[in-house]
Amino acid sequence: MDAYRALLLQGLTPTPSTTVALDQCAGYTLAEDVQAPWSLPSFDNSSMDGYAVRHDDVVNAPVRLSVLGDIAAGHVSDIALESGQCMRIMTGAPVPAGTTAVVPVELTDGGADQVVINQAVDAGAYIRCVGDDVTAGTVVLTAGTTITPRQIALLAACSIDQVVVHRKPRVTVVSTGDELIDPGQIPTSGTIVDANSYLLLAAVEAAGGVATRVKVADDEQAFLQVILDAAQSSDLILTSGGVSMGVYDTVKAALGARGGVSFCKIAMQPGMPQGHGQITHDGSTVPIITLPGNPVSAYVSFEQFVRPVLRAMSGAVALLRPVTQAIMTQAMTSPSGKRQFARGVVSGVPAQVRPVGGQGSHVVGGLAQANCLIDIPDDVVAVSVGTTVSIIDLREDA
Ligand code: AMP
Ligand code: MG
């Protein structure tokens, strides 16, 4: 399984870089390092509402000082404090010259012309000094970092209003099957609502790509046409269904006959039948990954194989989700010779996990409850209560 993932990742190049405005850059991955143009904070300022003082004046508190005026955030005072003087200052305001500490208003009588400082503070207290967060010129974010709200705060604070990122990989997600109807339609006997193209569209977007969905019947010609069209407009094609051992497995039949795509069985559950290759058409060559049809199989395969591919195409350094340990609170079995990715619910510290939804790969009810995958090695056939297992944490999607 790891070898198959490595094979899919081989030779992938990140998408070209592009410039994106700060308010649009969440979810993109940086294509270049970002340097701080100046230090943060960029001026010494107060971290509290209180009084800017000379520290020597307050060491023997209680003490009375004369208040020379107010400094609100966004305003600068040209006053320099002398002995016995202070200024009332608000959080974020630049401290006046001569300030060596700020006394929070809570430690004073709050006076406007004169103030009684009731308690001494340490030298330098409540002053946020230039550069104590970020030093000018340092690399604050490295290429390959995916931008989240936390990085956006830093970029904005550095007054960076656009960033150079990798273009989001464009993915066409193709659902196959005569039985598929669209959400919103009433299922009749024999029909199944197309869950996969919606599942995969959302999964692609959560992984940093942009997706288009297509649903096509089990018709080899129609399917091939969809694939060839997708090759003109996509960086990656994903299909679901039609790759197992049935007589009407359209994906396998159509692409097998065309060539360029190979099909295999991976020793994992769910998600055994897989396929990958390239579609070359009209001068474009686009990688394709064919996933199994059952929604849980499609999801687990996406997590194991497609998500890392999309992360790599997006230019991200971190391709895999965090793997942690948890203690099983419910026993379960696992097939011999296959690595199982059971859906689980993890909670608590230390982490405890229980399987959810059973082993059926059609069980979308269980899938929806899961917040992790329990990774059971291929040589383990039973896991008892109290066993420590590895889990792949899916909670960052929440
Ligand atoms: P297949 O490999 O095409 O035989 O599909 C395996 C199982 O997954 C069948 O029960 C299909 O009906 C089901 N399936 C295939 N595609 C989808 C889909 N897009 N949404 C929901 N179920 C699907
Ligand atoms: Mg099918």
Residue 179 beta carbon below 6 angstroms from any ligand 1 atom: yes
Reference 163, options 315, 47, 2; nearest CA is: 315
Residue 194 beta carbon below 6 angstroms from any ligand 1 atom: yes
Please give the pLDDT value at position 361. Answer: 84
Please give the pLDDT value at position 306. Answer: 98
Reference 199, options 161, 168, 232, 240; nearest CA is: 240
Q: Which two tokens stand for residue 167?
A: 């273009």
Please give the pLDDT value at position 396. Answer: 84
Question: Residue for token digits 């604070």?
Answer: 157
Residue 274 beta carbon below 6 angstroms from any ligand 1 atom: no
Residue 3: in which H helix or E strand, if any? helix 2-9
Q: Could you give the C-alpha distances from 101 to 62, 223, 231, 267, 388, in angstroms and in order? A: 15, 72, 65, 65, 52
Reference 73, options 116, 41, 119, 98; nearest CA is: 41
Residue 175 beta carbon below 6 angstroms from any ligand 1 atom: yes
Q: Assess contact for 291 and 274: CB atoms under 8 A.
A: yes
Mean pLDDT score, 97-123: 98
Question: Does residue 398 surpass a pLDDT of 80?
Answer: no
Average confidence score pLDDT of the chain: 97
Range in 126-130, 245-249, 366-370, 381-385 the model is least confident about = 245-249
- For residue 290, which ligand has an atom nearest its CA? 1
Please give the pLDDT value at position 40. Answer: 98
- 283: left (phi > 0), else alpha (psi -120 to 50), else beta? left
pLDDT digits (tens, 9 = 90+) for 299-328: 999 999 999 999 999 999 999 999 999 999
Q: Which two tokens stand for residue 382?
A: 């039973």
Q: How far apart are CA 395 and CA 227, in angstroms?
A: 33
Please give the pLDDT value at position 359. Answer: 83
Name all domains of the chain by residue range, CATH numbers in brackets: 21-39+132-166 (3.90.105.10), 45-128 (2.170.190.11), 168-313 (3.40.980.10), 323-393 (2.40.340.10)
Q: How far apart are CA 134 and CA 154, in angstroms?
A: 10
Q: Assess contact for 387 and 374: CB atoms under 8 A.
A: no
- 249: left (phi > 0), else alpha (psi -120 to 50), else beta? beta
pLDDT digits (tens, 9 = 90+) for 138-147: 999 999 999 9
Q: Assess contact for 300 and 371: CB atoms under 8 A.
A: no
Between the CA of 351 and the centroid of ligand 2 the distance, in Å, is 38
* DSSP calls for 157-209: HTT--EEEEEPPPEEEEEEE-TTEE-TTSPP-TT-EE--HHHHHHHHHHHTT-
Q: How far apart are CA 72 and CA 125, in angstroms?
A: 19
Q: Which of 176, 181, 196 to mutate to test the pocket of ligand 1 (most atoms within 8 A of CB)?
A: 196
The alpha-carbon radius of gyration of the chain (Å, integer) is 30
Question: Does residue 209 surpass a pLDDT of 90?
Answer: yes
- CA atoms within 13 A of residue 271's CA, in its CB half-sphere: 24
Q: How far apart are CA 240 and CA 105, in angstroms?
A: 64
Residue 242: in which H helix or E strand, if any? none
pLDDT digits (tens, 9 = 90+) for 335-377: 999 999 999 999 999 999 999 998 888 889 999 999 999 999 9
Please give the pLDDT value at position 203. Answer: 98
pLDDT digits (tens, 9 = 90+) for 163-180: 999 999 999 999 999 999
Question: Does residue 157 surpass a pLDDT of 90?
Answer: yes
Q: Assess contact for 9 and 65: CB atoms under 8 A.
A: no
Q: Which two tokens stand for residue 375?
A: 């990774």
Question: Does residue 228 surpass a pLDDT of 80?
Answer: yes
Handedness of CA 24, 26, 27, 30 (dihedral sign): positive
Question: Does residue 397 surpass a pLDDT of 80?
Answer: no
Residue 41 beta carbon below 6 angstroms from any ligand 1 atom: no
Q: What is the DSSP secondary structure assignment for residue 300, as one 8-state letter?
A: H
Residue 248 — pLDDT band, cuts 50, 70, 90?
Answer: confident
Q: Which two tokens stand for residue 120?
A: 């001494």
Which atom of ligand 1 is least distant from the CA of 294? Answer: 8
Q: How far apart are CA 60 and CA 53, in angstroms?
A: 13
Q: How far apart are CA 49 and CA 72, in angstroms?
A: 9
Residue 39 beta carbon below 6 angstroms from any ligand 1 atom: no
Mean pLDDT score, 34-57: 98
For atom 10 of ligand 1, the residue with the nearest CA is 294
Please give the pLDDT value at position 18. Answer: 98
